[in-house]
Amino acid sequence: MENVNVPFYQNHTSMLITMLRKRLLLYAVALTCSSFVFAQQKITGSVKDKEGNPLKGSTVSEKGVSKNATKTNEAGSFSITLQGSSKTLLITNVGFKRQEVAVGQNSSVDVILAEDASALADVVIVGVQRQLRRTTTASVTSVLAKDIENLPAPSVDQLLQGRVAGLNVQIGSGEPGVAPTIVVRGNSRVNTNISDENVAQAHALSSPLYVIDGVPTNPEDISNNIDATGTNYLAGININDIESVDVQKDAAATAAWGSRGANGVIYIRTKRGRSAKPEFRVNIYGGITQRPELLPTLTGAAERSQKLELINQYASPAQLANLPQILTDRFNPSFNNATDWQGLFYRQGNVKNVDATISAGSENVSYRISANYYDEKGIIQSFGFTRYSVRGNFDFKISPKLNSQFIVALSKNDRQRGMKYYGNSDDNTPVSGAGQPSSFYRLTAFDSSNFTGLFSKLRNKNVNDLYNASLTLNYSILPELRYTFQGAANISTSNRDYFQPSNIDAVSVANGGSAQPSFAQSDKGTYSTYFLSNALNFTKRITTASSHVHNFALTGSQQFSADVSNTSSTSGYNVPSNNIQVVSGIPQSDLSGRSNYAAAALLSFAGQLQYDYDGKYLLYGSYRGDASSRFGENAKWGYFPAVGAGWIVSDEGFMSKAKSVVNYLKVRGSYGISGLNSGNFYAPYNSYVIPGTYNGGVAIQPSYNNGLTKNNLTWTKTIQKNIGIETQFFNSRISLTVDAYDKLAKDDYYTFELPFYTGFQSIEFNAHDLWVSNRGLDITLSTRNLSRTSPLQWNTQLTVSYNKNAVAKLPNNNRTFVVDDAYGASRIFAVGQPIYEMFQLKYLGVYNKQSDIPFNPLTGNVITYFKGNHKVVPGDPIWLDVNNIGDVWPDEDNGAQYGDRIPTGDPNPKFTGGFVNDFSYKNFSLSVISIFTWKRDVINTFFQQQISHVVGGYSSSINSFANSRLPDLSKLNYWTPQKLKDDPNYKADFPSLNPFGPSYYQYIPISSQFNEDGSYFKIKNVVLSYQLPRTFINRAKLVGARVYAIVDNIATFKNSTMPNPELVDQLGNYTGGLYPTPTKFTLGVDIQF
Amino acid sequence: MNKQSSFLKLALPLLIGVAIVGASCKKYLYEAPITSTYGKEFWTSQTSVEQASLAMYGQLRASLRSDRSYFINGDLASGMFEASYPNWWNYSPVSTHNPYAGGNFNFSYVPYLEGSLQNWSRFYQIIAQANLILQNVPQMSSSLFTNESVRSGYLGEALFMRAYTYFYITRIWGDPVFVTQSYNDVDYGKIPPIARSKESVVLDSCIADLNKAAGYLDFAGGSPAKSTRANKGTVYALLAHIYAWRHDYANTHLACQQVMNNGGYSLEPMASYKNLWKGQSSNESIFELSMTYNPNDPNFSGQGDWAEAKFDFFGKTFLKGPIVDNVNSTCWISLKDGFVDQFMDTARDARYKSTLTYTPATGGDKAGYMLLKYANFFYQKPDSKTLPYINNNLVLFRLSDVVLLDAEALASQGDITGAKQRLALTEGRAGITSYQIPSTQYDVLDEVVIERGRELMGEGQWFYDLIRTEPTQQWLEYVGYQADRVSPVNKGYYWPLDMGTLFPQDNLLTQNPWWATHK
């Protein structure tokens, strides 16, 4: 009676797998009716969960005898009379693992059902089709609620780090509410506007599509249109409401999503009511976030003596006689202080979270209602994040043929972000990063109130609200044919009110800066997405005469979504009083205001076909057409096909002997095309602008940057091939999944610089010659390290993602080009090189003595830098003379053949992953979650800027040296004339740090001197939890109780001087102003009543 | 059977529903912006054509003002003024007393000014705008216009502006890249490169366009109110200049005659001479760009490229000291013992008294003469003396310019008496009589060049006069250019192109002959 798998195929389109399981079991029992009658044996017993709670409503049936089944009562007890010969009971309950119990001659059986967390994970949703994980040909990895619940983070995306092979999550800022960067299988976006820091941070990398309970949501579209606050969209979702997160990676999974599927799809499902008995649950945690360790800095006398020491090393007598007053006048009360500027802003923060949940599940209605409060006080003054959210998930079974789901979610988040004005810039403190002044300056009470107390007058309110509602109807027209309708509305608002009082920075005024006028701004934005979907799903099972089985599932769907964005902004300088903190009373000439409206729509049709033969040979095909309003009228439609095939080898007869070793082996492959919608709602329209007036008359002209029509603007295409192997060994104790992929993105939107004779400057259009290749491996290895019977359980999961990123083709006949980023480091875009590869002079150490310096082969003189402008002397950095002409320079204007810059570093990590260990022993469980990034280059821009202040970057000045904070140079073995004199064989680790110069740009990121190894291994979380003993719970009249302690962000192991090499921007710049990731200690309790 | 019918009962409305939703979705797929106008919607009214036309003038104004290039190209390069070091250190290589190595009038060393002096891109915006008007306006329904002559008037303005721009490019960089089409709906990654066209070919086309424009436009009757836009008088003034540039003096004379006899202009009396630059205030003005203060100008406080009144363009170029409340201590000075002392009768010439003032050496400037043509200076906020602006227009063509062109044309054709008659008009107004002295054709032409310098000093003209008359008069050598640089082959009076920026955009572009070996 091979009926274990059968019911899946017949009912697998059911919306609720939990209900499905329950129903199909009954069906299975019915099918396996036996006409034989055996001696009767009465069995009584009870069914409980592993905490000892009685499980009411569990189905107890006799194996092999249809219709002989009963249900447990309130106390979990049952009674059944056996009629068949199997003498085996089948016990099932929603959300628990099905269990078979051989009763033998016993008359009483007590059964403990294990919770089945993987029940949901057994199904993945691809497009609008449900697929069984076992028979899907797609590459999908899931993260389940138990892996991420209660971890102290504002948004779920951060918690996916290290959990999913192929997903690279980097948390570049510890600021609460800021989105991490998420890239699925390598970056495919080539952004040439990286000289704008904000553009680089928001749009340098390709980000995936999110689908939340069936509704496609594009956070990038939302933030592009209404980003008043810069807050992560996903921070509006309570992590403890999330049931599972599926990361869909290959074309078989993503092509069915069409628009934006090209960059991967992240499918988030929220929790539903499951427990038979109404359950009330309160979960509270709270803790502290540790003030970060500040960078070592010298203050006061220590700073003065170090600075003078440095000066003494290099200065000539004339230079010594002419030092800036701030250094020499140590009795001047303005200059004899020891102000630690960084200490002004950092503090210990805290985090609090409260969840309250009511849920229940029954035959006809199930529900789950949750409320959440999350509050994080930042580790920098005036930073923080607060969320209030409510979510209700309701399931109704209206008739045997009709059921419905309704989801409603509301959330408000309120983010404090210091004086940050736009986007997620680096200005976390008023004197940020490398730009901090010398400690000599006196911090007056006025300055102090301006800096630390600025928050009493500064107003920076960033509120995001989310309102989501979704209704789904399923109607079984025929047993094989089901119609599904889904309608949803997601409304997201972003409101920012900002006020900056006048004259906030007295130090800059004292240093000759001018007083700042006060400034007030109010930005409001609403982004609404409306989504409608109609789907018909036909499933058919055909059993042939030779008892082979053909299973078909055919889904046809139509979807429509509309996005509408509305924004307004008013702002002005010179608010009459610092007590008025809104846009009011501002002089007309200083006032500005505008509003904006944008709407876009997407219409899609998709067909998906799954077929399998005996559940062993798997085929899949999908075809999707999308029409987007964001494309030109000649090219609105894009078509995205995908095919997949799979073979479950372990089900073959010839494998039966190997079953004890390899109990599961599946091979699958897929090929397909997915697309990317334009980020610009009105991309095809040439916009006309009002540049101003001529003789009083208004003039209108096409925009120089988007002034030409683009009726042929269309979808980008990503072609992806994937081969995967899924294996399980030794009765599933070891499972290993390996996927190899080759992803080629084409026709991406690219800002073409137009030739001057067109009269226009630039235009964004499909670059038919811009191809980006990402190839790699996704590896997941899970092991159960101890035997199933051991009281101590230890499970390990290792995920490794390998990605090789390269530009495969470039516009203008593969013309290589170089763009400088916001910090002055050049990035080369060349065929075969990774995107954003650093392009610098190669730094090779220090010329310690004259005899080390080579000669120019033509002139016989010592080599020079910058076309002869700087003659190399001892103490200078060694820069590789690539073209071997006796001169080294970067060459900015004469074409690469003359310069000496070479590719010097790849900011795209080659390997990322995670290492997770879960231990459980009796009532205790312990999880240790580690993540790693390996083979990544970053630039320590922070250190470079500090050094720049000492010796001059673009120009050297003893005054900038005197006025700026001195980095700790005590551990730096820098070259000085004296050290050479003392020891002729002396070897310096760092070039000369002469504050008197000369500066020939040696300390700007022109060379690879400040590049560092960006690899790290981080113990991210340790979670210890303890299930309170049954006896205590019963005495307290509770249903369950658990306490847990979590340490977040414990330790980082690295091979670089930066405190945390993960804190770099999207292009791999470590700037020191990025918000540190704090260590959090939390304690929590989870109680069920 | 029963199942089948219930299936149909359900499926049919469903399919209809899907069809309806699908159809109504269609219109959303053609969602167009309401926040800005765009091509298809724009060219549907006369008002739009008016706004598009005004954009050409605004673009020309911004292009000529860019880095003061109008005065650098027309005046500074002639040595008539000197931009003093150190405040004008990057302008200094252009003027005679160059403190840097590399020779006088070093056009290739102008740090931070490459974008305006060695790059003609901004002028192609005007050309593109004119091309857009010339392409769209004829396709519009005639019912959209008051009458057909209004429509053709717009076409005439666009033809004029395109010709003016190409002529301007030609006088500074030589052979232009010649484009008369619009770029819409092409593969923007693969726009074919275009080589430079011969100056003569481009000017032929400009002349043809201007003759067409003359048919489309009317004379303005000398009305100052109409001097900020193109009209038939403007068209003939430009034709006179183009013909003279090509040394086609017969046609120059004919075009000048059109302006002088039919334009309705009259010379401004000396008493009100400075009305010429006051803005739409003189009957002498043929074409001027509006730059006076407009209280409704949204660009004024930001002083962007499109601001109507800009302080920098006139103020920081020519004025200093008490005139502008010491806002700037240095300015462009016509040096002592230079043009003024050599060629101007400072005792008699009324123009000297009204538009020049001697200033001793101050603040890094050498001693010399400060130009007061554009001194109509105000503060927007007089109480705080903030937001200074110059309330002047920039005069591009005026009657005395055309009169003197006619003098040049007549003299070149041997009509010395006629030429002297023309010279007498401007010299007489200024109270001098030096035109009476010369007797040979060569000397009369010299007198024309000098008189043009006196009359049009600081109006962005004289350097082109020197280039134009170079074959016979050799003034370029006189003001300091090496002979082989300005030879007919080398044409080193043209500016070099910033090939580093422009060549990647156009692989067929070539450098100007002199600079191909001297940049």
Mean pLDDT value of segment B257-277: 96
Q: What is the pLDDT of residue A26?
A: 40
Residue A173 pLDDT exceeds 60 = yes
Q: Which of A110, A232, A239, A247 is nearest to A181 (CA)?
A: A232
For A692, which of B38, B48, B297 is closest by C-beta distance? B297
Residues B119, B122, B128, B133, CA torsion sign: negative
- pLDDT-based confidence at A2, cuts 50/70/90? very low
- Check CB contact under 8 Å for A695 and B308: yes
What are A298's two structure tokens?
A: 């010298």
For A709, which of B35, B129, B184 is closest by C-beta distance? B184
Q: What angle do CA A659, A665, A671 make, to 5 degrees?
A: 165
Q: How far is A177 from chain B (nearest CA, A)?
A: 31
- Strands in A59-62's sheet, in edge-to-edge order, are A69-71, A59-62, A88-92, A99-102
Residue B291 CA from chain centroid, whole number: 13
- Strand positions, DSSP E, A964-1015: 1011-1013
Q: What is the pLDDT of residue B100?
A: 44
DSSP conformation class of A513: P
Contact (Cβ atoms closer than 8 angstroms) between residue A806 and residue A793? no
How many CB atoms sit inside 10 A of residue B483's CB?
Answer: 11
Contact (Cβ atoms closer than 8 angstroms) between residue A390 and residue A411? yes
Q: What is the residue-averaged pLDDT of chain A?
A: 85
Residues 174-193 of B with CB under 8 A from A: 177, 179, 183-185, 187-189, 191, 193
Residues A12, A13, A16, A22, CA torsion sign: negative
- pLDDT-based confidence at A1, cuts 50/70/90? very low
- pLDDT-based confidence at A948, cuts 50/70/90? confident
Contact residues, chain B, for A532 at CB < 8 Å: 21
Contact (Cβ atoms closer than 8 angstroms) between residue A466 and residue A411? yes
Task: Tell me which amino acid residue A396 is.
Answer: F
Q: Which of A284, A322, A286, A330 is nearest to A305 (CA)?
A: A330
- Check CB contact under 8 Å for B120 and A765: no
* Alpha-carbon span A476 to A264, nearest angstrom: 32
Q: For residue B239, what are the CA distances in angstroms to B212, B250, B370, B405, B422?
A: 12, 12, 32, 11, 19
What lies within 8 Å, CB to CB, of A816 at 6+ separation is A810, A828, A829, A830, A831, A896
Strand partners of residue A964: A437
Contact (Cβ atoms closer than 8 angstroms) between residue A282 and residue A1087? yes
Q: DSSP string spanning B193-212?
A: P-PPPPHHHHHHHHHHHHHH
* Alpha-carbon span A33 to A474, nearest angstrom: 30
* Alpha-carbon span B374 to B313, nearest angstrom: 10
Q: Which of A963, A968, A945 is nearest to A440 (CA)?
A: A963
Residue A21 CA from chain centroid, whole number: 34
Tens digit of each residue's pLDDT (9 = 90 or more) over A927-944: 999 999 999 999 999 888
Contact residues, chain B, for A702 at CB < 8 Å: 39, 128-129, 132
Contact residues, chain B, for A517 at CB < 8 Å: none
Residue B262 pLDDT exceeds 80 = yes
Mean pLDDT value of segment A1050-1077: 87
Q: State whether residue B55 sits within 8 Å of chain A by CB.
A: yes
- Tokens 């992590």 map to which residue? A239
Q: How far is A625 from chain B (nearest CA, A)?
A: 13
Q: What is the pLDDT of residue B239?
A: 98
Contact residues, chain B, for A598 at CB < 8 Å: 33, 35
Tell me: ipTM over 0.85: yes
| Lowest-confidence segment of A165-179, A189-203, B346-360 by average pLDDT | A189-203
Contact (Cβ atoms closer than 8 angstroms) between residue A439 and residue A338? yes
- Helix/strand number for chain B, H first, E second: 20, 8
DSSP conformation class of B475: H
Q: What is the pLDDT of residue B13?
A: 58
Instruction: Give the residue with greater pLDDT, A397 vs B157.
Output: B157
Q: What is the pLDDT of residue B101?
A: 39
Contact residues, chain B, for A636 at CB < 8 Å: 29
Task: Tell me which amino acid residue A420 is.
Answer: K
* Alpha-carbon span A448 to A452, nearest angstrom: 6
What are B43's two structure tokens?
A: 């060219």
Q: DSSP string spanning A219-234?
A: HHHHHHHH-SS---GG
For B297, which of A693, A700, A753 is closest by C-beta distance? A693
| Lowest-confidence segment of A22-36, A489-503, B267-281 by average pLDDT | A22-36
Contact residues, chain B, for A710 at CB < 8 Å: 185, 188
Residues 207-236 of B with CB under 8 A from A: 228
Contact (Cβ atoms closer than 8 angstroms) between residue A150 and residue A283? yes
Share of chain B above pLDDT 70, in %: 91
Strand partners of residue A84: none
The pTM for the full model equals 0.82
- Tokens 């010179």 map to which residue? A574
Residue A969 CA from chain centroid, whole number: 36
State the DSSP H helix or E strand holding residue B288, giving kind and residue range, or none if neither.
strand B285-289
Q: What is the CA radius of gyration of chain A?
A: 33
Instruction: Give the residue with greater pLDDT, A1054 vs A255.
Output: A1054
Most confident of A485-499, A820-834, A975-989, B119-133: B119-133
How many CB atoms sit inside 10 A of residue A1041's CB?
Answer: 19
| Lowest-confidence segment of A893-907, A972-986, B98-112, B392-406 by average pLDDT | B98-112
- Check CB contact under 8 Å for A712 and B39: no
Tally of residues, chain B: 519
Q: Which residue of B has its CA nearest to A692?
A: B306
Contact (Cβ atoms closer than 8 angstroms) between residue A60 and residue A89? yes
Contact (Cβ atoms closer than 8 angstroms) between residue A511 and residue A462? no
Q: State whether residue B25 sits within 8 Å of chain A by CB.
A: yes
Q: Which residue of B has its CA nearest to A817?
A: B504
* Alpha-carbon span A613 to A618, nearest angstrom: 7
- Helix/strand number for chain A, H first, E second: 18, 53
What are A1020's two structure tokens?
A: 């991210």
Q: Which residue of B has its CA nearest to A687?
A: B38
Pairing of strands A41-49, A108-113: parallel
Tens digit of each residue's pLDDT (9 = 90 or more) over A22-69: 444 444 333 333 334 445 778 888 888 766 677 777 888 887 776 788
State the DSSP H helix or E strand holding residue B350, giving kind and residue range, or none if neither.
helix B350-355
Tally of residues, chain A: 1089
Q: How far is A502 from chain B (nearest CA, A)?
A: 20
Q: What is the pLDDT of residue A151?
A: 86
Task: Tell me which amino acid residue A1011 is.
Answer: N
Q: State whether residue B32 sits within 8 Å of chain A by CB.
A: yes
Tens digit of each residue's pLDDT (9 = 90 or more) over A529-559: 999 999 999 999 999 988 899 999 999 999 9
* Alpha-carbon span A826 to A828, nearest angstrom: 7
State the DSSP H helix or E strand holding residue B239, giving kind and residue range, or none if neither.
helix B232-245
- pLDDT-based confidence at A485, cuts 50/70/90? very high
Burial of A406 from C-beta contacts in 10 A (0-12 / 13-18 / 19+): middle
Residue A16 pLDDT exceeds 50 = no
- pLDDT-based confidence at A905, cuts 50/70/90? very high
* Alpha-carbon span B342 to A1046, nearest angstrom: 90
Contact (Cβ atoms closer than 8 angstroms) between residue A800 and residue A911? yes
Instruction: Give the residue with greater pLDDT, A270 vs B83.
Output: A270
- Check CB contact under 8 Å for B129 and A696: no
Q: What is the pLDDT of residue A42?
A: 84
Instruction: Give the residue with greater pLDDT, A959 vs B2.
Output: A959
Contact residues, chain A, for B58 at CB < 8 Å: 691-694, 699, 701
What are A1041's two structure tokens?
A: 């109780």
* Alpha-carbon span B344 to B35, nearest angstrom: 57
Tens digit of each residue's pLDDT (9 = 90 or more) over B134-153: 999 999 999 999 999 999 99
Q: What is the pLDDT of residue A291?
A: 81
Residues 456-475 of B with CB under 8 A from A: none
Share of chain A above pLDDT 90, in %: 44
What lies within 8 Å, CB to CB, of A1034 at 6+ separation is none
State the DSSP H helix or E strand holding residue A455, giving kind and residue range, or none if neither.
helix A454-457
Residues A431, A435, A437, A439, CA torsion sign: positive
Share of chain A above pLDDT 70, in %: 88
Q: What is the pLDDT of residue B475?
A: 94
Q: Which residue of B has its CA nearest to A689?
A: B36
**Cis bond upstream, residue B86 (ω within 30):** yes
- pLDDT-based confidence at B21, cuts 50/70/90? low
Contact residues, chain B, for A768 at CB < 8 Å: 187, 189
